[in-house]
Amino acid sequence: MHTVTLIPGDGIGPSIADVAVRVIEAAGVDIQWERVEAGMTAIDKFKDPLPEHVLESIRRTRVALKGPLTTPVGSGFRSVNVALRKEFDLYSNVRPAHSFEGVPSRYRDVDLIIVRENTEEFYAGIEHYIDPSRSAAETIGVVTRTGSERIVRYAYDYARRHGRKKVTTVHKANILKYTGGLFLDVSRSVAAEYQDIKTEDKIIDNMAMQMVINPHQFDVIVTTNLFGDILSDLASGLVGGLGLAPGANIGYNAAIFEAVHGSAPDIAGKNLANPAALILAGVLMLRHLNETAAADRIEKAVARVLSEGRYVTRDLNPGAPVGTAEMGGEIIRNLT
């Protein structure tokens, strides 16, 4: 039996988390869930977006499945997602994007893995207004040699473990001479140790264009925090949207699995949210827990429901959609 921390999140979070838990349980995995609240719902209850008992639970279980958490834009509390990644040093954010048969999208057979550095640079929270009248603001993006080396190494090790052929380092070292330059230098010296994996590097702006024009040329992509955040949403758009994009936040001592998408306030409470991204995050979690057979069964069931295209949410079938729980129910019926 596994013990897993469950953070349902807010917005569409609780509805998709319920479905993900039902699907995982229907696949026969024995999990004791420790259900805790963070973000908006925790502020309402505990006056703290990240209460100590949430951290304590993850410290103990070392694995969490997390629904999306709203972060107020501009002022308000800092991102709980970022705080969790920093607290547990979840330095690697792995975001796969691959095509599913039957899903309306611009491309077929896309199969990309984005490995995003998850703790440094512009997300480290070193920022302030320079004076009380807020005439200017500064955000300091720190990139370290150690941080760069471990994420690039993670990407190459991932490529080796999964039989992948190429790693593309994405950077902006032509303009960000120091932070971008350091990341690129480190990536080139790490790459030299992996002669079996093809290596290339691309400047972020060109990369964005290349991914839209011909995503099939890429395999594993490794990049810094902000670029990885943006490119992974772009990648999800290539394969049918955010409703299908899972992510894993991996550290040495803990791992948190979540969808790439956020709390989707525009559709929250309307029974429109696609649960597949969080279910697929659950699949990544099951692989992490060595529950490979259950992970395969769930992935196949999701693929079947998507390929059939009838019991899917509005983002995938605007003409005749079903609701979040109905799509989950159909995935469960397809578990074989």
Residues at the interface with ligand NAD (CB under 6 A): 12, 68-71, 81, 242-243, 258, 261-267, 273-274, 277, 315
Other beta carbons within 10 angstroms of residue 171's beta carbon come to 25
Please tell me which residue in 91, 123, 154, 156 is annotated as part of the active site.
123
CB of 233 to ligand NAD, least distance (A): 8
CB of 94 to ligand NAD, least distance (A): 14
Nearer to ligand NAD, 167 or 281 (CB): 281
Name the CA radius of gyration of the chain, rounded: 20
Exposure string over 71-99, b if 16+ CB within 10 A, otherwise e: beeeeeeebbbbbbbbbbbbbbbbbbbbb
Number of residue whose CB is nearest ligand NAD: 262
Active site residue 154: no
Tabulate helix, strand, coil % of the chain (nearest 5). 40, 20, 40
Active site residue 172: yes
Nearer to ligand NAD, 220 or 268 (CB): 268
Dist CA 160 CA 239 (whole Å): 24
CB of 77 to ligand NAD, least distance (A): 11
Dist CA 208 CA 108 (whole Å): 18
Nearer to ligand NAD, 222 or 327 (CB): 327
CB of 208 to ligand NAD, least distance (A): 18
Of the CA atoms within 13 Å of residue 40, those in its CB half-sphere come to 15
Nearer to ligand NAD, 181 or 237 (CB): 237
Angstrom distances, CA of residue 207 to CA of 50, 155, 179, 298: 36, 17, 18, 32
Dist CA 257 CA 66 (whole Å): 6
Please tell me which residue in 91, 156, 158, 172 is annotated as part of the active site.
172
Nearer to ligand NAD, 201 or 315 (CB): 315
CB of 242 to ligand NAD, least distance (A): 4
Q: Which residues are catalytic?
A: 123, 172, 205, 229
